């Protein structure tokens, strides 16, 4: 899942360093919106403003965990 997310996000945001441990600081509002829309489309999950936190956007790993959490909630 991580590599699938990395590949797609690198396609839509090629100048962002997804290996950064400070991913949130590298993103502007358009980048954040692009990530939310991309992940929502990829996995059929609902992501919105409340999901945009420094914790969730700290790194690629934290984005993967956010998706996993949303997929788990949707399965309930």
Which pLDDT tens digits describe the chain residue by residue (76 residues)? 999 999 999 999 999 999 988 898 889 999 999 999 999 999 999 998 899 999 999 999 999 999 999 999 754 4
Q: What is the dihedral sign for C-alpha 27, 58, 55, 3? A: positive
CB 1 within 8 A of CB 8: no
CATH architecture for the domain at 2-75: Orthogonal Bundle (1.10)
At 36 the pLDDT is: 95
Ranges of each domain in the chain:
2-75
- Measured distance CA(10)–CA(4) in Å, rounded: 10
- Measured distance CA(13)–CA(26) in Å, rounded: 11
């Amino acid at each position: 899942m991580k590599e699938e997310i990395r590949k797609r996000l690198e396609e839509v945001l090629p100048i962002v360093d997804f290996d950064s441990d400070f991913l949130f600081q590298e993103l502007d509002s358009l980048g954040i919106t692009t990530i939310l829309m991309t992940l929502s489309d990829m996995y059929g999950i609902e992501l919105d403003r409340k999901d945009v936190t420094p914790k969730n956007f700290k790194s690629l790993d934290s984005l993967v965990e956010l998706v996993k959490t949303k997929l788990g909630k949707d399965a309930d």
